[in-house]
Structure 1
Amino acid sequence: MNNSRTNWQRLKELTILLVGLGVIGIVVLVSGVFPIKASSGHWPITAWILDFASDRSVDFHSAGIESPPLDEPGMIRLGAASYDANCRWCHGRPGLPVPRVPAEMTPAPPYFPTATFDQEPRELFYIVKHGIKFAGMPAWPSRQRDDEVWPLVAFLKSFPEMDVATYLGHVQVSMETDSATKQLVADACASCHGAHGHGRAGDRVPVIAGQNREYLEMTLKAFKTGHRHSGIMEPIAARLDAAEIRKLAEYFSIQPAHPSESGADEPSSHPAEAKSRELNESEQTLYELGKSLANHGDGPQKIASCVECHGPTPIDRSVEYPRLEGQPAAYLRQQLHLFADQARGGTENADLMHGIASKLSDEQIDALALYYSH
């Protein structure tokens, strides 16, 4: 009997305590007495708890993510260009002090030029892709494009050893800016595409020199509205107005398709010798398959020939379709896989590619990419 009374008394006391704490919590919440000002920062124990919880969450949720090789040519440069366009406003860049406005945030974004990145690549990938709640760290603008996140991861892993000159060499291009259009090219495009559109950040970047003006304009508008998915291109295009988009499309459309004809000081990241090199036996077989698919399609699978829309043929095709000849194989492969997964988006004509790409095998995609890249 006494034990029953004791247990009942303890339960009663616990209930009163919980109700009291709840009432106190409601009073604090409704009254607004608890300060939310960023100027006071976090208490040390609060900062420790949040950091510990964040680290454990990232480690748990990133388990199983496999990193591709991060030493791919152009990978770091592409990541540097993406960082310079979108990240340095909060996290800083070599040669400049800590940005003043984000430095007053709570928590303040880390200043990356002096940071050490102890996280595994998979963990950095998870943070960049998904962001961090309550920290002002945004998610990657396009969830469909995991392939765009890895270059930024590669850049961040190399950042601690990067001096000012190396950083600027990645993100700045020497070019004459004797007109408003060329200044716009230097500011918005050249770090990835080069001064003349032949590319300088590896085979993940398309060649836009000599591309159809109408297609370039439609594509930039699709990036601007988010109809074509890209965490790299969407923020850049969003900052362009209609007149600037027209100027950029016109500029790159009249650039010679071959780098040697443009007078460019900086070589393309897609050198002609790599495209024209002699193929080995297995590559030659794959090339012939791609040539057949591109020119004749596949009747049994109801796949139309690529040249009907994308060339190359003696007859000019619709200016609303991109020219594929000379594009990097890696870029073409990625685009076809995105089309097959309906994860690319694009202009109003993009839906036409979903039914075609979804019928292609991995071998056929590799074959078409190899054929058009050569």
Structure 2
Amino acid sequence: MSFHSRGTEPPEDRELMDVRLGAEIFQTNCRFCHGLPGKEQPPVAKGMTPTPPRLDRSLLEKEPRELHYIIQHGIKFAGMPAWPVPTRGDEIWPVVAYLRQALKEDRDSFHAERSESDLSALAKLPLLQACVDCHGVDGGSRAGKQVPHLTGQGEAYLRQSLIAFRSSERTSGVMMPVCHDLTDQEIEALSKHYHEMNSADVRSRVDEAIPDQAAIDRGRELAMRGDRGRKIPSCQKCHGPDLENRRDDYPSLSGQSKWYLQRQLELFEKRARGGTQTARLMHPIADELSERDRSDLAAFYASLPTSDKRSEK
């Protein structure tokens, strides 16, 4: 394993190894066979041949890159599947961080306590159970900058995105398992809920270094005017920040984390993101964007307040 994982190193940005996000991903993808770290497997998993190994402290002897390799590629003839989306290795690092910290501290879980407002919302819409620990009841990211906020997004965009995750047309080893069993009616209910949420101070929950003003200014120029010579259209006509004429099935970008926005543009350029029916419109645009363009655009939109569609009405 040490040989095969050579060249795979944890991200320099340690915020991309968010333990809380890793705990939520583990609950969705891994606990059915392995149980919680340091605990016995679920009874049914014990009957598997071969039996999934216990996740005990012996795993701490493996390097983070080795754990990443195992999760990404699986283990042949052992029942250990590969990560659902081979191109999304970035989604695995939070799981690695969670495993290592849970084993070191012998903790069952890293779930934050639910507030009274959380419990009240869950009582009204139990479906939120699958969403609240990462996206919050109000759509604000609770699990780091890798998780987008949903507040201010159009109901049509949210609905189409959940359908795309369910069908694997949009690639994510995190969201696909969550959406796999959602019915159309459940998707409608979740989309309506997050669309109607207030955007109060969502941006403040994403702890990122503020980009330099020059980058924001370059991003603003490109977003508002485009670049006719490179056939790059204006971003604001589809994505805001002016939402007056924006279609409901296009995402608002204002206030998302810089890392998240830049990553989406990279995935579009690599044809590795997928998405709704309109996602393919981004491919020729992403092809023309340089690395600095992507960074500047992300810096500009991350600097803006979160859009509240209700205030635009």
* TM-score, normalised with respect to structure 1: 0.75
1:110 Cα deviation after fit: 2.1
Whether 1:61 aligns to 2:26 is no
SS at match of 1:240: coil
Greater relative contact order structure (CA < 8 Å, 6+ sep): 2
Q: Choose 176-185 or 299-308, whichever is displaced more.
A: 176-185
Q: AA paired with 2:103?
A: P
The residue number in structure 1 matching 2:160 is 218
Matched, 1:270 2:206: yes
Q: Larger Rg: 1 or 2?
A: 1
Aligned partners of 2:17 and 2:96 also within 8 Å: no
Q: Provide the C-alpha distance between the structure 1 equivalents of 2:55 and 2:156, rounded to a whole number of angstroms.
A: 40
Larger mean Cα displacement after TM superposition, 150-159 or 64-73? 64-73
Q: 1:216 to 1:314 in 2, by over 3 A?
A: closer
Q: Residue 275 of structure 2 aligns to which amino acid in structure 1?
A: G
Residue 201 of structure 1 pairs with residue 143 of structure 2: yes
CA distance in 2, matches of 1:330, 1:135: 35
Q: Distance in 2 between matches of 1:296 and 1:126?
A: 43
Residue 167 of structure 1: aligned partner = 110
Question: What is the Cα deviation at residue 176 of structure 1?
Answer: 2.0
Amino acid at match of 1:112: L
**Distance in 2 of aligned mates of 1:74 and 1:112:** 19
Identity %: 42
Aligned to 1:256: 198
- Superimposed CA distance per residue, residues 94-122 of structure 1 (whole angstroms, 9 cap, x where no aligned partner): 69643111112232112326553311111
TM-aligned CA distance change 1:315 to 1:155, over 3 Å:
same
**How far apart in 2 are the matches of 1:124 and 1:331?**
24
Aligned residue for 1:188?
130
The SS at the match of 1:346 is coil
Q: In the alignment, which residue of structure 2 is the partner of 1:149?
A: 92
Once the two structures are overlaid, the 10-residue window that deviates more, 197-206 or 63-72, is: 63-72
Note the C-alpha offset of 1:70.
6.8
Quick one: distance in 2 between partners of 1:95 and 1:79?
Answer: 16
What amino acid sits opposite 1:145 in the alignment? R
Q: Kindly provide the amino acid, as one letter, of the partner of residue 182 in structure 1.
A: L
SS of residue paired to 2:61: coil
Say whether the 8 Å CA contact 2:258–2:301 is kept in structure 1.
yes
Query: Structure 1 residue 306 and structure 2 residue 243: aligned?
Result: no
- SS at structure 2 position matched to 1:72: helix
Select between 154-163 and 323-332 the one with higher mean Cα deviation.
154-163
Q: Partner amino acid for 1:323?
A: S
Shift of residue 166 of structure 1? 5.0
Size of the aligned set, in residue pairs, is: 301
Alignment of 1:246 with 2:188, yes or no, is yes
Q: Find the aligned partners of 2:215 and 2:277 in 1 and give their Cα distance.
A: 31
Amino acid at match of 1:155: Y
Alpha carbons 1:181, 1:248 under 8 Å: kept? no
**Mapped partners of 2:16, 2:167: distance in 1:** 31
- Compute the displacement of 1:66 (Å): 2.4
Q: Which has the higher helix share?
A: 1
State whether structure 2 residue 74 is matched by structure 1 residue 120.
no
Paired amino acid for 1:233: M
Cα 1:166/1:218, change in 2 over 3 Å: same
> Conserved in 1, the CA contact under 8 Å of 2:151 and 2:197?
yes
Q: Contact conserved, 1:194 with 1:268, CA < 8 A, in 2?
A: no
1:343 alignment counterpart: 272
Name structure 2 gaps, 5 residues minimum: 304-313
CA distance in 2, matches of 1:110, 1:123: 16
Q: Which of 286, 289, 294 is 1:357 aligned to?
A: 286
TM-score (norm 2): 0.89
Cα distance in 2 for partners of 1:89, 1:120 equals 24
| Cα offset, 1:180, TM superposition | 6.0
Task: Give the superposition deviation at 1:142.
Answer: 0.7
Over 3 Å counting, the alpha-carbon distance change for 1:268 and 1:200 in structure 2 is farther
